[in-house]
Amino acid sequence: MPSFDIVSELDNQEVKNAVDQASREFTQRYDFKDTQTSIQLGEDEIKLNSSTEDRLAAAKQVLEEKFVKRKISLKAVEFGNVTDAAGGSVSQTATLTAGISSDKAKELNKFIKEMGLKGIQSQTQGEQLRVTGKKRDDLQAVIATMKEENFNIPLQFVNFRD
């Protein structure tokens, strides 16, 4: 029976490369000189620090540009509130989200069922969904429809099997 999986993954190496490029740009650009702008990559978060909110906003923009250049979806990054840090500086934390939560999985399953295609079934398997159907064309229609819809998480469609 034809099937495919819906996953939400991040390429950790590309994230690391984007953060490294942003960090290098902070040290080289004149407008970041003497602003103590820095970036640190954690397990599932990125911390931005700077001396002013303007420079922090510029640092955030640089990071987003690096993500886009490396084809990392900005839907996978959720920026928190700007907070005051030590020494009169400001900081912001960006949380990286990977995987499909159970609430999102329910929403995706409901969306697939509401499409009304005959013989299409979806089930949650951990942090991914498996969609099966009798016809390959119906599965391709599911993929095309889901690509058009905005679920606020990055979705990849993998393991398409006949």
Strands 3-7 and 128-132: antiparallel
Please report the domains of the chain, with CATH numbers, ordered by start residue: 3-8+100-161 (3.30.70.860), 12-96 (3.30.70.990)
pLDDT band at residue 126 using 50, 70 and 90 as cut-offs: confident
Q: What is the pLDDT of residue 104?
A: 86
State the pTM of this model: 0.80
Q: What is the pLDDT of residue 100?
A: 85
CA-based nearest residue to 146, from 2, 5, 11? 5
Q: What is the pLDDT of residue 16?
A: 92
Q: What type of residue is 92? A: Q
Q: How far is CA 135 from the centre of its chain?
A: 31
